[in-house]
Amino acid sequence: MTSRGSAPPSLPRHVAIIMDGNGRWANLRGLPRVEGHRMGVRAVRAVVECARELRISCLTLYAFSLENWGRPEPEVLALMTLLKEFLVSELSLLLRHRIRLRVIGETSSLPFAVRKVLERTVSATAGNTEMTLTLGLSYAGRNEIVRAARRLAAEAAEGKIAPEEITEEMFSARLDTAGTPDPDLVIRTSGELRISNFLLWQSAYAEFAFTDVLWPDFGKAEFLQALEEYSRRHRRFGLTGEQAAKLPGK
Ligand code: FPP
């Protein structure tokens, strides 16, 4: 690992990325969409390495949304294959850099073979503490919130908790992201300016950075630029500037 080098001074603890534009990247070159996804995997590798190098603790990537199941079957199959290949080929990178893999989303809908390799990678990396790489797979924020609400409702029905005692912390603890800090920075590529059902609860106070760069072209320089933009933001969390300056970590 190299030192922080030209890293900006105030780094986010958790960066989440909406990786968008693979299809357009391929279209622009007259290639099939899957080629865009293939190059997207290369960008994933580069960003994971860069985040680790910068000592960012958590990186969350929106790799496949619940809505993505509606895409043409060959594209869905190609994405599942790329995912499986990525998990197999990158295990050594995860172990070498002591990165723990986590998954959020309705993983029960993933193909059996993908679930198996995911389980293997999650358990092989469970003891790693340098960075947590979370993949959003079959993920949708509203779906995650509904599943958390169902868990709380079931516990209330069993008499384990009282509805009036439910707190935001208890709700957070039933989300797929339980135990991971909320994202400080959410990046979206490809010029789209929307959240697309990603980490809806968790992004309440996140900073957003948008870039026109298509995901396969997103690399270390673009990542550093987003981090630099973040370092210039003033996060106030609903407080006055004066109060916010006194918050821990400021
Ligand atoms: C959005 O681009 C991207 C996706 C739906 C999939 C993201 C997947 C990868 C980067 C590769 C697999 C991931 C891992 C972690 C191995 P789009 O297809 O919606 O692009 P478009 O908007 O230009 O059509």
3-state SS class at 207 = strand
| Model confidence band, residue 192 (pLDDT cutoffs 50, 70, 90) | very high
Q: What is the pLDDT of residue 244?
A: 83
Note the pLDDT tens digit of each residue in 37-87: 999 999 999 999 999 999 999 999 999 999 999 999 999 999 999 999 999
Q: Is 40 in the pocket of ligand 1 (CB under 6 A)?
A: yes
Q: What is the pLDDT of residue 8?
A: 46
Q: Is 136 in the pocket of ligand 1 (CB under 6 A)?
A: no
Residue 191 belongs to a domain: yes
Residues carrying an active site annotation: 20, 68
Confidence check: pLDDT of 195 > 80: yes
Residue nearest to atom 5 of ligand 1 (CA): 64
3-state SS class at 217 = helix
Q: What is the pLDDT of residue 248?
A: 75
Alpha-helical regions (H) of 90-133: 91-96, 112-124
Confidence check: pLDDT of 167 > 80: yes
Note the pLDDT tens digit of each residue in 76-102: 999 999 999 999 999 999 999 999 999
Residue 167 belongs to a domain: no
The residue type found at 36 is: G
Record the pTM: 0.93
Mean pLDDT of the chain: 94
Residue 164 belongs to a domain: no
CATH number (domain holding residue 103)? 3.40.1180.10
More confident residue, 110 or 248: 110
Confidence check: pLDDT of 5 > 90: no
3-state SS class at 74 = helix
Q: Are strands 99-104 and 58-65 parallel, antiparallel or unpaired?
A: unpaired
Residue 2 belongs to a domain: no
| Model confidence band, residue 9 (pLDDT cutoffs 50, 70, 90) | low
d(CA 66, CA 245): 39
Residue 212 belongs to a domain: yes
Confidence check: pLDDT of 17 > 80: yes
Report how many domains make up the chain.
Answer: 1
Q: Is 78 in the pocket of ligand 1 (CB under 6 A)?
A: no
Residue 173 belongs to a domain: no
**Can you read off the two tokens belonging to residue 220?**
């270390």
Confidence check: pLDDT of 162 > 60: yes
The residue whose CB lies within 8 Å of the most ligand 1 atoms, and thus the one to mutate among 29, 37, 99, is 37
- Structural domain boundaries enclosing 213: 14-142+182-245
Q: For the residues 125-149, what does the mean pLDDT come to?
A: 98
What percentage of the chain carries pLDDT values higher than 90? 89
Residue 158 belongs to a domain: no
Residue 1 belongs to a domain: no
d(CA 154, CA 173): 15
